Amino acid sequence: MTGDTIAAAEPPVLSAEGLIKSFGRRQVLRGVSFSVTAGTLVGIVGENGAGKSTLLKILVGELRPDQGTVKRRGTNGYCPQAPTLNEALTVAQHLDYFAAAYGLADLSYGRELVDRLAYENYRGDRIGALSGGTQQKLNLTLALMHKPAVLLLDEPYQGFDWETYLRFWDLVAELRADGRAVLVISHLIFEQRRFDRIFRLKSGRLELDAG
Amino acid sequence: MKPRHGRYRTAVRYLLIEHGRNRLAIVLLIAFVPIWYLLISSVIPSGSVDFRFRVTGHFIHVDGRQLSLLTAGLNALTLIVGFVIFTSTRRGMRFDHRLVLSGYPQWIVIAAKVTSVTVVALAVAVYTSVILLIFWGPQSVPLVVVSYAAAALAYGSLGLFLGVLLRGELEGFFLVIMVSLIDTFIQNPIGNPAANKDFVQALPTYASTQLYVAGGFSDLVPWPFIALTLAWPAALALLGLLIFWLRTRVPNSGSS
């Protein structure tokens, strides 16, 4: 099955049409089209180097495609694969900084996320002193703290311990139930039952994964 | 919804916190600047040196040790400010891009960068001038501060430019050191006939050097040179910020 579009009655909150991207002679994306509707959880899997992160960077606007278009409705939350944080600042300062970016009047949900992901004891710590897993928790928090309409998560649970991994899925389930669209990109998806749809990125094209 | 604090204020605050936590820069400021002055004042002998003072168009006789102290301060602050801004800009590129992708207006991030470079440059210039006073009192301290501030701005802008351009830290450090060495060494007239050549006018701290000599050894206030000091900082900052803008813009706004 190679139909790249999720059939849905309501208009998608995120759609990509004919995305093509090359780096030099290497064509990474060869015409990727798909869409995601509100309240759904979609996964994109693929081997290392398949172009998953490139696709996500294009979806979020960090990279420009050679061809094709991306349309989004509502706010975005982007969790990049590598924690993109400022080593000189503390966890609390990151929350404050991104609250300013998102135009948030208060930080209550951000603080709640810190508590629920169980790193509240590190609020006053600088990023350089945090473990990789704790940095990833903050990386994820910064993507979720404004309750965006579309969540774009690149390998979001890497470095998490089992407890945090489960908490992550609880959060995603809540956000989906709340009408948010969630797109998870990973080279490994263990529990396919959690997803509404899973696509496989292979040879630069997206295929609906038969499971 | 309104942000809790102004976005500009927030960005400036965190940029300054980041600069303040640059331990290498703090150590260099506290230790390197006074040691450098001390070394110069102990090693360089006192004696008359001819300096081509382009403010008046004539050669003037200045004390070699005092001139070297002024040059040492300039050399130290160009290195420190260049390092601080280069490190912060290079390390912060992806983070700044994420902020912009998250809704931080690009122009506010840019304005905050300009502000933080200016604040750091002024602070380091004032500090370096104050430490200089322990070793020697120039005729016009304010003019020396202005010349140091202008040089610090030029190297802050150089740091910004290299920070958005280069991927590696080592090449940035190397370039800051080399540019500062060439810039200050060639203008130093002690045993160096090249200092009188016309090409020195193209160097980043040419106007600053003329200014601190005016401040150190005369009661002149050369306004055209004060204006000229801004040429290099303005050019480098504009170039750096243009590259920053290109690298952090959101090419696919995509919302419909």
Q: B3 and A89 in contact by Cβ < 8 A?
A: no
**Residue of chain B nearest A146, judged by CA positions:** B102
**Which residues, listed in sequence order, are joined to residue A150 by a DSSP beta bridge?**
A76, A181
| Three-class DSSP category at B46 | coil
* A165-194 confidence digits (pLDDT tens): 999 999 999 999 999 999 999 887 777 888
- Report the share of chain A in percent with pLDDT over 70: 95
User: Tokens for A120?
Assistant: 């509240």
Taking an 8 Å cut-off on Cβ atoms, the answer to whether A88 and B22 are in contact is yes
The letter for the amino acid at B45 is: P
- Give the mutation candidate from A20, A57, A64, A97 for the B interface (greatest B CB count, under 10 A): A97
| pLDDT of amino acid B102 | 94
Nearest to A73 among B3, B253, B255 (CB): B255
CB A182 within 8 A of CB A32: no
Contact B232, B154 (CB under 8 A): yes
Q: CA–CA separation, B99 vs A188, rounded Å?
A: 28
pLDDT band at A208 (very low <50, low <70, confident <90, very high): confident
Q: In 10 A of CB B24, how many CB atoms?
A: 12
3-state secondary structure of A10: coil
For chain B, give the percent of residues with pLDDT over 70. 96
Within its chain, how far is the Cα of A152 from the centroid? 3
Contact A143, A77 (CB under 8 A): yes
CA distance B107 to chain A (A): 13
Among B241, B228, B233, smallest CA distance to B81 is for B233
Judged by CB atoms closer than 8 Å, whether chains meet at B251 and A126 is answered as: no
Instruction: Please judge whether B254 and A62 are an interchain contact, meaning their C-beta atoms are less than 8 angstroms apart.
Output: no
B113 touches chain A (CB under 8 A): no
Question: Could you tell me the pLDDT band of residue B38, with boundaries at 50, 70 and 90?
Answer: very high
Would you give the end-to-end CA distance of chain B in angstroms? 21
Of B108, B7, B89, nearest to A101 by C-alpha is B7
Cα-based distances in Å from B205 to A130, B22, B148, B189: 41, 25, 9, 14
Q: For B163-203, what is each residue's pLDDT tens digit?
A: 999 989 999 999 999 999 999 888 888 877 777 788 888 99
Residue A79 — φ and ψ, nearest 5°? -110, 100
Task: Write out the H or E segment, with its range, that includes residue B215.
Answer: helix B206-217
Residue owning tokens 């090419």: B251
């602050």: which residue's tokens?
B77
A93-119 per-position pLDDT tens digit: 999 999 999 999 889 999 999 999 999
**B250 contacts in chain A (CB < 8 Å):** 61-62
Is B1's CB within 8 Å of A105's CB?
A: yes
Q: Is A61 close to B251, i.e. CB distance below 8 A?
A: yes
Using a CB-CB cut-off of 8 Å, the residues of chain B touching A88 are: 17-18, 21-22
Go through A184-207 and write b for each residue having 16 or more CB atoms within 10 A of its CB, e for each that does not: bbbeebeeeeebeebbbbeebbbb
* Domains of chain A in sequence order: 1-75+149-211 (3.40.50.300), 83-147 (no CATH)
Asked if residue A8 has pLDDT above 70, the reply is no
DSSP code of A12?
Answer: P
Query: pLDDT tens across A41-97, in order?
Result: 999 998 888 889 999 999 998 899 999 999 988 899 999 999 999 999 999 999 999
How far is B256 from A15, CA to CA, in rounded Å? 11
Quote the minimal CA–CA distance from A196 to chain B in Å: 24
Residue B114 has pLDDT above 90, yes or no: yes
CA distance A186 to A99: 27
Place of tokens 């899925």: A169
Q: Which residue's entry shows tokens 């208009």?
A: A11
Answer whether A107 sits within 8 Å of B4, measured CB to CB: yes
Residues of chain A with Cβ-Cβ distance to B252 below 8 Å are 58, 61, 64-65, 69-70
CB contact under 8 A, A71 and B98: no
**Could you say which of A61, A74, A93 has the minimum Cβ distance to residue B14?**
A93
DSSP code per residue over B232-249:
HHHHHHHHHHHHHHHHHS
Query: Nearest Cβ partner of B254 from A72, A78, A142?
Result: A72
- Identify the contact set of chain A against chain B, taking CB-CB distances under 8 A: 58, 60-65, 69-74, 76, 78, 80, 84-89, 93, 96-107, 126, 142
Reduced to 3 states (helix: H, G, I; strand: E, B; else coil), residue B106 is: helix
